């Protein structure tokens, strides 16, 4: 996907949480940390026929951190974002999870490009849905009882995300 937003079939946070629970169950991940790059690089090629992952050249991608083409089963992360995600950078891990969200949420659906100046309701926004997915995947609501007792800085460390992402997710639990 690009920075452009698209109107997609509606999804609530609860329905996205259900998908995340299912995905975590598929990989038997019960702890709070999610191995996003291992899943993208090693598990998805086994599960999705024709899946392609690429680290894109920073000069070619410019300000675009990641792209996903759901119909082509193709996910691209800019090379510095890829390296950062591999090294545990929370923002880069979130970008990788965001692109995974586009791949899983937006395959085989009709897209309607938002006209300039037209607001899309959050639950119908491809960008909101992917952002919601990434937060739910990396800071899972299944651990909300524990997370609500911890400072955001600790949640960020446990989940491998930025402090802002940890705070945002805990506030939505």
Within-domain flag for 1: no
Within-domain flag for 73: yes
Instruction: Walk along the chain (173 residues) and give the pLDDT tens digit of each residue.
Output: 445 788 889 999 999 999 999 999 999 999 999 999 999 999 999 999 999 999 999 999 999 999 999 999 999 999 999 999 999 999 999 999 999 999 999 987 765 566 666 678 888 899 999 999 999 999 999 999 999 999 999 999 999 999 999 999 999 98
Q: What is the pLDDT of residue 101?
A: 97
Within-domain flag for 124: yes
Identify the bridge partners of residue 78 per DSSP, sorted by sequence position.
56
User: Where does 36-137 show beta strands of DSSP type E?
Assistant: 52-56, 66-69, 74-78, 112-113
Within-domain flag for 131: yes
Q: What is the pLDDT of residue 1?
A: 42
Within-domain flag for 11: yes
Enclosing domain of residue 38:
6-171
Q: What is the pLDDT of residue 115?
A: 62
Number of domains in the chain: 1
Q: What is the pTM of this model?
A: 0.91
The structure tokens listed for 62 are 């410019």
CA 154 to chain centroid: 21
Identify the sign of the CA torsion 99, 104, 108, 109.
negative
């Amino acid at each position: 996907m690009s920075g452009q937003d698209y109107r997609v079939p509606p999804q609530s946070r609860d329905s996205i949480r259900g998908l995340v629970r299912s995905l975590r169950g598929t990989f038997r991940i019960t702890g709070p940390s999610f191995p996003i790059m291992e899943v993208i690089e090693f598990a998805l090629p086994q599960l999705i026929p024709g899946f392609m992952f690429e680290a894109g050249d920073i000069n070619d991608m410019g300000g675009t951190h990641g792209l996903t083409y759901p119909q082509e089963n193709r996910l691209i992360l800019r090379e510095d974002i890829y390296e950062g995600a591999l090294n545990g950078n929370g923002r880069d891990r979130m970008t990788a999870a965001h692109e995974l969200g586009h791949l899983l949420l937006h395959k085989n659906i009709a897209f309607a490009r938002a006209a300039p100046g037209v607001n899309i309701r959050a639950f119908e926004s491809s960008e909101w849905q992917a952002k919601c997915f990434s937060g739910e995947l990396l800071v899972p609501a299944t651990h909300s009882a524990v997370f609500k007792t911890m400072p955001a800085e600790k949640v960020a460390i446990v989940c491998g995300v930025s402090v802002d992402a940890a705070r945002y997710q805990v506030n939505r639990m």
